[in-house]
Amino acid sequence: MTDAPINSSATGEEAQVLEQLGIELRAKAQAADLVDISYRVVDSPVGSLLLASTPAGLVRVAFETEDHERILEVLAQKLSPRILKDPARLDAVARQLDEYFAGTRHNFDVPLDLKLSTDFRRRVQLELGMIGYGQTWSYSQMAQRIGNPKAVRAVGSACATNPIPIVLPCHRVLRTDGSLGGYLGGLEAKTELLTLENPRFGGTPGTLF
């Protein structure tokens, strides 16, 4: 998985200088404890993904359709303005995503930070990790799993606002009738992820919750 170029219009020499300056800046900022959120942007089969982490763990995975600049602004407002592009801090996440898209990884093993979610949504989002690779649950099954069978719509909302998609696989949750439901990255991305995990997946066109 590769990172987006620092400056697509820069010459090779300029890009090398910029990269070196970036390395020095990151080292100084980290040494001075000035960074609360590190991020990088990587390519993937479902488009470029913004990965962001705090010292506690991975806090955000954002699809290109969400507008990465807007996501960084939201992180600055909700968590901290001390944000720095630091690809090395997210090497483990990027590597595991590479393995996932290659079909060799079925579960993620990285620290998570769900401070962007409310307590209820956090419960639902953590439960997503219990859905096996290549399997799907319905929103009603998810509601039963958390002990609140009437909270189907609230579960749908928790899945729709999952800040760490793919790693916490909300794409594996479907409507009771088997249709896709909603997805933060779009229904095309949801279908692609489900088909990656199970080539026999034949979901019907989805609608919102």
Cβ pair 185, 63 in contact under 8 A: yes
Instruction: Look up tokens 């200088």; give the residue.
Output: 17
Cβ pair 22, 85 in contact under 8 A: yes
Crossing angle for the helix pair 152-160 and 119-127, nearest 10 degrees?
Answer: 80
Q: Please state, in angstroms and rounded to a whole number, the distance separating the CA atoms of residues 143 and 147.
A: 6
The phi and psi torsions of 81 (rounded to 5 degrees) equal -80, -5
Cβ pair 47, 165 in contact under 8 A: no
Active site residues: 170
Cβ pair 139, 159 in contact under 8 A: yes
